[in-house]
Structure 1
């Protein structure tokens, strides 16, 4: 009897094992940083293949290898070619001669509709100037699950929205016992998302490949822990490729020490 693989607990693992073995046999190298990424390089060509469950994204500087690997995959697994990448895991991809624009517009609008903020008045900044009210221990939410669910959704939105990174990171530190003040701050973020739902990343076609990094930090702005928050961003040429906002693990004795912690994190990322 032939038993279907679908429905078994080992299904996804067995499928990925079979796919990765097949790709490695065709001289693809599995990334050690991201095991779902496979790369094939020659002296003149470069191919990248990204896998998510049974969806595959292919990119290359030459169409010959893409045609080759698609033919092999079709014969081995009977795949369906969906054409140029336009939508993948809530990411929208728009191409032009100038470059590629990556955003999560539909995902952002879905969040606004789900929270009833689609008709709200937009605002032009993602962060409130005064954050002292975030540390008040009063007016706790009766049901914090909605707050936590919204934080998780906004974290996924920061994959293309670096402008939300600091604020979402700050509000995520209150997920254990959120108050009405924290939820109002979340609503402020949603009003900012309403202001520019199509905001995202642009990868220029004619940019150089010089790596640049920028870092900064505040100093003991958290009254509870007295720890500082680091922030950095790195660019490949003119486009942004990575960014992070995170509370430092130790207490800095001066603003200079806090900035050195942020700089060390930036250098490590580069």
Structure 2
């Protein structure tokens, strides 16, 4: 549309956007387009497994750069190459160099000789504080194993937005807290019409976090490059649709991927549920292989463990 101040132009004309403006729907796409073209011109190659990952490999240096909206993490084994790309980015975008990675998108990173530890301590404490549970008694488990959530007729919440906000924050917290993945997956099924029952279950997850807000993941520097996966499924767990829950995670010696997701179709036996879970785990394993290949990391072993289905 033509701005109202430009009255001299005919009414059937439109404006051509030559520069992206912050806040427009096209801004993120234009920003990524400009950044990717610059990186490609500097000799970087876009990874096939993840298009937000850019890699540059020379005879003596390896540099990797990953982008999340307008936040960038840069790593490599050559300080001079890292310095050059920083200067290039600053000359085009006026970036702010924050030094060694310590805090990224709410994730705290600690480095040591043994490895890298990541957690979301501040994010977790802010969540507990926002819901007024700083003085509560911690729970030993995120969810009662005997409870299977389903659509019920309990009292609906007066403010469903607070429940949706809570579940959304829990989903982001699963980035470093795999123990709450299953409980969060269960709670996310009832975002449309949450009730008091679901809220109480969600508050129990927060009480569990209260007991261990510092807990996170440790990535060992001496971890092997073996890819080991574990696949499992609970048959007909979801009461309303009788669908099964697929759960799996992958480790080298360090946990790198985990998931709890409702299967897309109804399995008529536990064997079919296990095979569908195994298929999903295999797809994830294959993607990790592609990603390691892009990062020039050799892996010597790929193995997926699964529970033997009952016939």
Task: Find out whether 1:242 has 2:257 as its counterpart.
Answer: yes
The change in CA–CA distance for 1:133 and 1:37 in structure 2 (over 3 A counts) is closer
Q: CA deviation at 1:18?
A: 1.9
How far, CA to CA, are the matches of 1:85 and 1:114 in structure 2?
27
How far, CA to CA, are the matches of 1:230 and 1:139 in structure 2?
30
Residues 28-69 of structure 1 deviation map (CA, whole Å, 9 limit, x = unaligned):
112344333211223554321122343321011332321221
Report what 2:186 is aligned to: 170
Structure 1 segments of 4+ aligned residues over 6 angstroms from their partners = none
Q: CA deviation at 1:4?
A: 9.0
Given that residues 150 and 238 in structure 2 are in contact (C-alpha distance below 8 angstroms), is that contact kept between their aligned partners in structure 1?
no
The change in CA–CA distance for 1:64 and 1:231 in structure 2 (over 3 A counts) is same
Of residues 206-215 and 125-134 in structure 1, the stretch that sits farther from structure 2 once superposed is: 125-134
RMSD: 2.1
The answer for unaligned runs of 5 or more in structure 2 is 1-17, 286-311
TM-score by length of 2: 0.80
Report what 1:68 is aligned to: 84
Given that residues 219 and 252 in structure 1 are in contact (C-alpha distance below 8 angstroms), is that contact kept between their aligned partners in structure 2?
yes
Q: Secondary structure at the match of 2:224?
A: coil
Q: Secondary structure at the match of 2:56?
A: strand
Report what 2:6 is aligned to: none
Q: 1:262 pairs with 264, 269, 277, which one?
A: 277
The change in CA–CA distance for 1:18 and 1:217 in structure 2 (over 3 A counts) is same
Report what 2:233 is aligned to: 217
Of residues 7-16 and 22-31 in structure 1, the stretch that sits farther from structure 2 once superposed is: 7-16
Aligned pairs for 1:129-208 (under 5 A) are 129-132=145-148, 134-208=150-224
Of residues 20-29 and 46-55 in structure 1, the stretch that sits farther from structure 2 once superposed is: 46-55
How far, CA to CA, are the matches of 2:101 and 2:181 in structure 1?
26
Which protein shows a greater Rg? Answer: 2
Task: Find out whether 1:91 has 2:95 as its counterpart.
Answer: no
Q: Secondary structure at the match of 1:85?
A: coil
How far, CA to CA, are the matches of 1:268 and 1:200 in structure 2?
26
Report what 1:42 is aligned to: 58
TM-score by length of 1: 0.92
Of residues 54-63 and 168-177 in structure 1, the stretch that sits farther from structure 2 once superposed is: 54-63
Given that residues 148 and 175 in structure 1 are in contact (C-alpha distance below 8 angstroms), is that contact kept between their aligned partners in structure 2?
yes
Between the two proteins, the alignment pairs up a number of residues equal to: 268
The answer for unaligned runs of 5 or more in structure 1 is none
Given that residues 134 and 181 in structure 1 are in contact (C-alpha distance below 8 angstroms), is that contact kept between their aligned partners in structure 2?
no
Q: CA deviation at 1:228?
A: 1.0
How far, CA to CA, are the matches of 1:12 and 1:265 in structure 2?
31
Q: Secondary structure at the match of 2:145?
A: coil
Aligned pairs for 1:84-123 (under 5 A) are 84-123=100-139
